[in-house]
């Protein structure tokens, strides 16, 4: 049978000289020099071995050509049994239009939460940067109208309205996909939704995705986690230039970071589980620091708040508190690279976590936001916080009490609560090169380009200028 071109590389075998007991007469199967120069054989032996060796070379050549010719058909056939093409072996740095036509449009990707802030950027990045994409499935509870403009391109874009908490809907979306990028989640640090709902979406929804991969034979799962799985913790302990192995006491009480930590653990523990077809599930998790960029709702809220206050924002956080931030386009790019390399480097990347990072500067949350809001006409008032920290703590506690009292009557979800205050006032910065070492990640967008793109987006939001 022809060798599966997507199987793991086998150990090279060296054929020994038939009359030699040493390694001096060995040759690689790729060598055309046989028998070895200087061998003292009788003529009929030489001819017999020359004939045998030429037949072996011809068989090897034919097998290689057949395997290359069968790549497309084999990929289509074997995805039903969870054996998918090697994402990394066919070129990490391929750009659109650079791939060989015989190797293009063979992969099926599913992006859960594909209409969310990060999900939309992942979708667009895949369409721009993954030349072997045949079908892109976008699974979300609410589908955006912008999806229609994507359906005119060469890649089949399938929009699926569904709920990650419904296992049967998730399984139907996952079936037949080669790679699942699970970005769907409920991000709520302000108390807009109940802890039970957050757990159901973030934890049970992730478990549904894992089980769907196992049941349908989809082998590769990338989970969008969060830096908040690690911290900042409720004790306000700084995480200064840390990496994936830096010891840190991850202590959480808020429902959101608790749910992300549980979901990440589920994904990592699922690595190696047998899926339909008998092959192992390969998983990893990406932990973005604070994401910014086009579509960032909190940035938009700060901008409109500043407009209502006469073009001013008031400093509430010391400038000495540093936060790590990362541009959404670079986070999306890291997802694409991981998806390409996950099978090719399964032993290295499977079960791993990676911080998402780029060259964005370390600044306080407010000073960093002013990099974009300042050019849009806003100014930050004060070189020091205008309120003492103890008063902010008191106000945060009061907000929590009011939220609890008013819950039966109305939704009260203030920006300031004990969790958001602790996060904003705690240094949390990342310095790591693990993603570069493991799968060749380099930021696609420089800080200057990331800043320019974000400013341009803020300037186009409703109410600007």
* Close Cβ partners of 305 (under 8 Å, ≥ 6 residues apart): 313
Q: List beta partners, residue 326.
A: 291
CB within 8 Å of 247: residues ≥ 6 apart: none
Q: Of how many residues is the chain composed?
A: 465
Phi and psi at residue 240, in whole multiples of 5°?
-105, 115
Phi and psi of 245, rounded to 5°? Answer: -110, 5
Pairing of strands 352-356, 282-288: parallel
Nearest alpha-carbon partner for 232 in 117, 324, 167: 324
* DSSP run (H or E) holding 375: none
CA 385 to chain centre: 36
256 is catalytic: yes
Whether 350 and 284 have beta carbons less than 8 Å apart is answered as: yes
Give a three-class secondary structure readout of 101-128: HHHCCCEEEEEECCCCHHHHHHHHHHHH
Query: What token pair was written down for 400?
Result: 């929590």
Greatest extent of the chain over all pairs of C-alpha atoms, in Å: 101
Q: Which residues contact 242 (CB under 8 A, 6 or more apart)?
A: 230, 248, 429, 430, 431, 432
Query: Residue 343 half-sphere exposure, CB side, CA atoms within 13 Å?
Result: 23
Structure tokens at 30: 């790729």
Token pair recorded at residue 27:
């040759």
Distance between CA atoms of residues 198 and 455, nearest Å: 32
**Does residue 5 contact residue 71 with C-beta atoms inside 8 Å?**
yes
Which residue in the list 109, 223, 256, 292 is annotated as catalytic? 256
| Per-residue tokens: 170 | 């998730």
End-to-end CA distance of the chain: 68
DSSP 164: T
Count of H-run helices and E-run strands, the chain: 15, 13
Cα–Cα dist 116/159, whole Å:
13
Instruction: Enumerate the active-site residues.
Output: 256
């Amino acid at each position: 049978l022809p060798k599966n071109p997507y199987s793991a590389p086998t150990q090279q075998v060296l054929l020994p000289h038939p009359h030699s007991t040493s390694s001096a007469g060995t040759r690689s199967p790729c060598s055309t020099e046989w028998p070895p120069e200087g061998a003292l054989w009788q003529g009929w032996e030489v001819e017999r071995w020359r004939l045998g060796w030429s037949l072996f070379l011809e068989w090897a050549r034919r097998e290689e050509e057949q395997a290359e010719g069968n790549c497309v058909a084999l990929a289509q056939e074997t995805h039903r049994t969870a054996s998918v093409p090697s994402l990394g072996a066919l070129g990490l740095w391929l750009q659109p239009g650079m791939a060989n036509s015989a190797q293009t449009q063979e992969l099926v990707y599913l992006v859960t939460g594909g209409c969310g802030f990060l999900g939309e950027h992942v979708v667009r990045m895949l369409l721009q940067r993954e030349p072997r994409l045949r079908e892109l499935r976008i699974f979300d509870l609410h589908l955006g109208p912008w999806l229609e403009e994507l359906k005119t391109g060469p890649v089949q874009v399938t929009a699926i309205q569904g709920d990650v908490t419904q296992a049967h809907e998730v399984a139907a979306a996952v079936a037949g996909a080669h790679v699942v990028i699970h970005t769907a989640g409920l991000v709520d640090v302000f108390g807009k939704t109940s802890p039970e709902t957050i757990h159901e979406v973030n934890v049970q929804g992730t478990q549904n995705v894992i089980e769907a991969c196992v049941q349908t034979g989809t082998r590769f799962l990338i989970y969008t986690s969060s830096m908040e799985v690690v911290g900042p913790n409720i004790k306000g302990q700084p995480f200064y230039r840390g990496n994936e192995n830096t010891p840190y006491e991850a202590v959480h009480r808020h429902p959101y970071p608790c749910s992300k930590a549980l979901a990440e653990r589920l994904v990592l523990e699922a690595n190696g589980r047998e899926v339909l077809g008998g092959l192992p599930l390969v998983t990893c998790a990406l932990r973005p620091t604070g994401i910014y960029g086009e579509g960032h709702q909190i940035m938009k809220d700060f901008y409109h708040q500043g407009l209502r206050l006469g073009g001013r924002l008031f400093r509430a956080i010391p400038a000495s508190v540093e936060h790590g931030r990362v541009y959404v386009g670079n986070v999306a790019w890291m997802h694409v690279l991981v998806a390409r390399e996950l099978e090719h480097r399964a032993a290295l990347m499977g079960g791993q976590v990676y911080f998402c990072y780029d060259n964005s500067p370390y600044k306080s949350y407010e000073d960093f936001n002013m990099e974009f809001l300042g050019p849009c006409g806003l100014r930050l008032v004060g070189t020091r916080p205008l309120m003492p920290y103890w008063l902010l703590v008191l106000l945060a506690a009061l907000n929590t009490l009011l939220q609890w009292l008013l819950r039966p009557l109305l939704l009260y979800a203030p920006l300031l609560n004990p969790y958001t205050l602790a996060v904003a006032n705690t240094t949390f910065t990342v310095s790591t090169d693990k993603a570069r070492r493991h799968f060749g990640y380099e930021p696609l967008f420089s800080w200057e380009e990331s800043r320019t793109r974000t400013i341009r987006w803020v300037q186009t939001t409703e109410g600007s200028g």
